[in-house]
Amino acid sequence: MFEAVLSNGSTLKKIFEGIKDLCTDVNFDVSSEGIKLQAMDSSHVSLVSLELHTDVFEQFRCDRDSMTLGLNMKSVTQIFKICGNDDSVTMRAEDEGETLEFTFEKGEDRVSTFELKLMDIDSEHLGIPDTEYQCNVKLPCSEYQRICRDMAGFGDNMTIDCQKGGVTFSVDGEVGKGKIFLKHQPNVEEKHKVIVTVKEGVELDFALRYLNNFAKAAPLSDHVQLGLNSDTPLSVRFDIEDKATLGSLKFFLAPKIKE
Amino acid sequence: KPGQKKIESYFALP
């Protein structure tokens, strides 16, 4: 049997909101270590990787070595509309069960339950190596969200140019070109901090449609971390409640290849 | 238009 209780149900709600427009069906891979999810978008240029460690849950039980729970994202987000922001969530599935039961509770006054039919989803797991990035950028989620939204008005692709001292986001579209520079700002108050760590400068182009999609996970944490290496996928990482010990939601995006 | 490689080409199947 699998049973997990999360007092802060909105965390799960935010996770599903963050991935629902990228993936239609996903597998929840449950083990005694927690929950993992890996899924690609339909065009196979981006990858979502979720890790929820048991520390994020108040209670966690998985009797089997592993269980795979196939979820339709549209149905899950529909179910999570039932979940209030202060509700706790309990997920429960029998070993050979065909459903995942969600219970949303606020105290003992209001208890809602929904049994979701599980799906059989074929998915291949890719091996994501532990990568040391040439450039790491930590910036407020609100800033990331704003840059991607504003730049999407001018073009389809955005160049991220990371150099010592700061990072430049630029777009070159039909009406003209523009750029936004964020300076390495380690000594300001936490919510405005921008940390740019560079071993070697990297400049890459990415599709704004995907960068904007990843921004939907912004409510999960205060800061987002970008990892860049030349000619490898960009990593966009949201630590759950800004604590890597609880887990993370990571997105990977293949760079545009310049002609 | 610049192209894009599939994400599988970067991450090996274990």
Cβ distance A256 to B3 less than 8 Å, yes or no, reads yes
- List strands edge to edge, sheet with A67-72: A67-72, A25-31, A34-40, A46-53, A247-253, A234-239, A223-228, A135-140, A195-198
| A45 chain-B contacts, CB cut-off 8 A | 4-7
- List strands edge to edge, sheet with A99-106: A59-62, A2-6, A88-93, A99-106, A110-117
* pLDDT reported for residue B14: 66
Residue in B2, B5, B8 nearest the CB of A126: B8
- The answer to whether the beta carbons of residues A196 and A137 sit under 8 Å apart is yes
Structural tokens at position A161: 């140019």
A interface test, pick of B5, B9, B11 with most A CB neighbours within 10 Å: B11
| A127 chain-B contacts, CB cut-off 8 A | 11-14
Chain B residue whose CA is closest to A251: B7
At A109, the pLDDT band (50, 70, 90 cuts) reads confident
Region A138-166: what's the mean pLDDT?
97
Cβ distance B7 to A259 less than 8 Å, yes or no, reads no
CA quadruple A146, A9, A57, A250: dihedral positive or negative? negative
pLDDT of residue A256 exceeding 70, the answer is: yes
Region A99-126: what's the mean pLDDT?
93
pLDDT tens per residue across span A189-213: 998 999 999 999 999 999 999 999 9
Of A7, A102, A15, which is closest to residue A55 (Cα–Cα)? A7
Residue in A125, A252, A257 nearest the CB of B7: A252
| B13 chain-A contacts, CB cut-off 8 A | 124-127
CB count within 10 Å of CB A120 equals: 9
Of A259, A253, A190, A245, which is closest to residue A51 (Cα–Cα)? A245
* pLDDT reported for residue A259: 64
At A157, the pLDDT band (50, 70, 90 cuts) reads very high
Cβ distance B7 to A157 less than 8 Å, yes or no, reads no
Region A118-124: what's the mean pLDDT?
90
Cβ distance A254 to B6 less than 8 Å, yes or no, reads yes
How far apart are alpha carbons A100 and A93 in whole angstroms? 5
Residues of B with CB under 8 A from a CB of A: 2-14
